[in-house]
Structure formats: C-alpha cells, structure tokens
Structure 1
Amino acid sequence: MNRSILVRIMGFRATLIHGDTLVLDRWRWLRRRLPKTANNESLLDVGCGTGAFTIGAALRGYQATGISWDERNQEVAKQRAMLCHAEKSSFVIGDVRELGELQNLKDNYDCVICLECVEHILNDLKLFRDLADRIKPGGRLLLSTPHYYYLPMSDEDLGPFLTEETGWHVRRGYTSAMLLELCETAGLHHGEISYCSGFISQMVTRFWRTCNRLPGGTALGFVLTLPLRLLPLILPDRWITQVLRWPFYSICLEAYKPRFENEKGNSRISDS
C-alpha cells in the first residue's frame, strides 16, 4: 500500500496512523508542548523518520527542519509535507551522531525535538551535548525514549540489545535518573518528566506486531489494527494504565537551556 495515498486523502492525520502504532501517542504528548505560534519560532526534529512530527510542528506555525540519515525517508517526508501544505517544513540528510558538526543546519533553534532516537545511539552523552548546542539560550528540548521498566510487547523488547549501531536499539531504555544525569552533564535544566503510551496502546502494538509476522506482513497488520488505533483516543488509557499499575512504554523529558550564566561563567540552573 502506498501510504502517501492516505495522506493525500486524510491529510496530516494519516502520517500518525500508519507504521508504529505508538506514533499517535507521541504526537499527543508533543502537541501539548508545542503551542501554536505566529512568531516563526524555529524547531529541529532530530531523527525525524518520515517527517510526521516535523510536518505537525510546521502546521502549528514553527519553521521546522527534520534531519535523518535515510534518503528514502526524507523523500517520503518531503512528499507528505507537500500534500499536507506544510510550507514551513524542510528536510535535510545528516547523521544525528554528528549533529554538532553538520553545516547544513542553522546554528540555534528555539526548540529541538528528539523522539525515540537516543536509544539507537551508543554515545548518548555526545548526542545530548549536541542537542544542547543546537538550542538557543531559553530554548527547549522535548525528548521521548523507551522507559527502562516497560513490559515487553514482543520478544525483541527483551533484547539482546546491540553493541553497534545498525538501526535497532543499543539499550533497553532510560530511567528518570539517567535522563536527568544526561541533562545536567549537557548543561540543560531538566524540567518535566512524564510518560506516554499506556496499557491499551501497548496491547494494540502487541497485536500489530503479531499480525506483521503473518502472511501478508505489514499490510495485513495495518488493515487489522487500523480501527483499534482509535481505542486510546476513546478510552481513558492513562487512567486504566495507572489503575492496573502497568508501566508506560515511553518516558518523556522536557528540558530547558538556561538564558543566564552565573559569575563563574557556568549556566545557572534553577527550579524556576
């Protein structure tokens, strides 16, 4: 199935309901932290995939740039941005492991987003420092990654996790302490830790992954799970997850780059 056909028919919403069943959850988390703007605020989407979040941010008024190493994904992203009339979006090819050295990006952004990417990178501290360097003083980092304490939805969630970067996860995930350590070492003030993708979303994902292993593969999985993807929107997934004491799949971070320096020349970290 040419999934860009769905984008032609449904617009931006179609970018959130194909492939990974948890994309919609991440967008719902992200959207609450991206207020609409008419101020031409700049945004960098690191590890943008096929561009759903870059396009969504552009439609909310941001000058949004998505970066990925995958040339095919970038072409798909450009096509979908055109179909969604996301004129404020752009896409560049680059290795996020070398984010700090890339010359085809502007120097600083009001907001940098990095969703489900850091778990693919061995040198996560370098990535965090590069992310911080791309943020303007007073700007924000919005990041999500698998929560270390998730319950597996399929066998691959158990590992083994890789010791080289091939595209799959190199670590199980992160705790809040691990993310806060990375923030502080990179010179960012950690703001809010939250979570997304609860019990219902995870059960839909488990079913989707099972379907993908059947004859017919991903096309069959998409067709069978399409109506189920609405369940987290209809049912109180967060409440159900908390009642069941079920761990959310992703841990989410909002961090801030301080505007001021203290007398020693170091960034002033405060709780304000």
Structure 2
Amino acid sequence: MAAGAREATGPRLRPGFPGRLLALGHALALFGLLLAGAVLLALLAAPVILAALGLGQFLKYQLNHGLAFDGQDARDLFALLLGLACCRLVLPAALLATRRLAMLTRRLSARWCGVAIAAAYAPKPVPATAGSRHLGYQQRMSWLLNDVSTWRDTAWLVVNLVVGWVLLLAPVMMVGFGVITFLVPGSAAVPGMHGVSRWATPPAFPGNTPTVLLAIGVALVALGVATGPVALRGYGGLARLVLTPSREAELALRVEQLAQTRRETLDTGAAELRRIERD
C-alpha cells in the first residue's frame, strides 16, 4: 500500500448533543473492532504456541525416556504437526486480516475521532513463479514479517486489548450505569412513571430518595454523553501513537517504491525491445 500522507489535523467531530450521542455509538462500533482484533490476536498466537509446546514436550520426553516412541510421543508430535499446519494455513491470512483491521482503524479514527493516522506498508512483491498471480508461502511470509508495519499493527492489537477498551467503554458504561442504577429507580419522582421504577432496585445509601436518585442519574448520563467525544479523541491519539510510522520508515518506503517502479519500467522496456526484435 502507498504511504499515507500525514495530516496536521483530522476532521472535526460533529458538534452538539446529537454529535455527542453519536460518539457513544462510534465508541461501541470501535469496541466491536477491538473484539475482532482480540480474535485475530488469538489466531496469530495459537499456532505458534501450539507448535512450540508440541516441540518442547516432544524433545523433553525424548531426553527423559531415550529414543523410544510411544503414545505420549505421538500426541506431542501430532501437536507439533498441527501447530505447523496452522502456521502455514492460518498465519498469513491472520496477518493480512490484521493489516486490513489496522487500515480500517486508521480510516475510522480520522472520520470519527478527528485524528488522522498515516500508513506506510512495504509494497507487495511480484510473484517469484513466472505466470503466477499469487505469492508463495515463503515469499508472502517474508514480505509480511520483514515489514515493520506488520509488527506495529500487531502491537496495536495488544495495546487496544489492554488499554483501548477503557477509553471506549468508560462513557458508555457511565451512561448505562446512570440509567439502570439511578434513573430507573428515581423515575418514581416523575408523575406517571412510578411503574418504571419497579424495574430496578434502588442503590442502598443514606438519603436515596427518588429525587436524589434522579438527580444523580441525570448527572451521570450527562457526564457520560459529554465525555464521549473526549474519549474518542483519546482513543484516536492512542491509535496514532502506536500505528503512525516513523518519518524514516516513510522515507525508506518511498525510496523502495521508486526503486521498484524503476525496475518494473526497465523490465517492461526490455520486454518491449525483445518483442520488437522478434517481430
């Protein structure tokens, strides 16, 4: 992919109360991406861990029991082979999916959080096999694993899973807590809504009258709605901190892209000359 241009400022968040409510919906949507990233992280780690455990147990059993082959060896060897098979089948797809998820996070960060994030990925190499449209396993893995941006995207999955959910769910949970714990029991103070108050038990503390509960609930909901855009900006800043490539990486990628374009132009020109000579 081409390097994304840095932008000094991203799009402004939608102002007003509707925009603040929309920010809560965007936070929930980004939390859905966080869960998808957790699944991808498990797919990336599981084959490597399975293969490493199978190999470790197999070698340990061989060292402790000689070169005999029995049922325990068969199970360890099966785990090793299964892990290697998953590494071959799952890892390339999971790495590419991680890249697509990171690119989607960049787009949504600019659109929803007002934080633009640049991208700098190594270009996809030409298939080594003549006439083939797909990369081989070794060439694909070399392309992905030698690209620093791949490791940056993987690090984002970890940081997002550890820290990102706090920024995304804090305002949403504040609104939900205020509604369920305080507004619903406090609705008894509103004429005609006494029946709604029976849906939730009021919290036990001194002076928990319906009027007090209603006031606390309104304050919590208002605080959650007000902090939604702030949490989104913080989330976008966290994503930019992890996903933005260094200036040196962008320049190196640009040089590599120009060199590859030059090579392709020379190859095309040489092929055209050979065609003219044959004609």
| TM-score between both structures, scaled by the size of structure 2 | 0.21
Greater relative contact order: 1 or 2 (C-alpha under 8 angstroms, separation 6 or more)? 2
From the CA coordinates, give the structure whose radius of gyration is larger: 2
| TM-score between both structures, scaled by the size of structure 1 | 0.21
More helix by share: 2
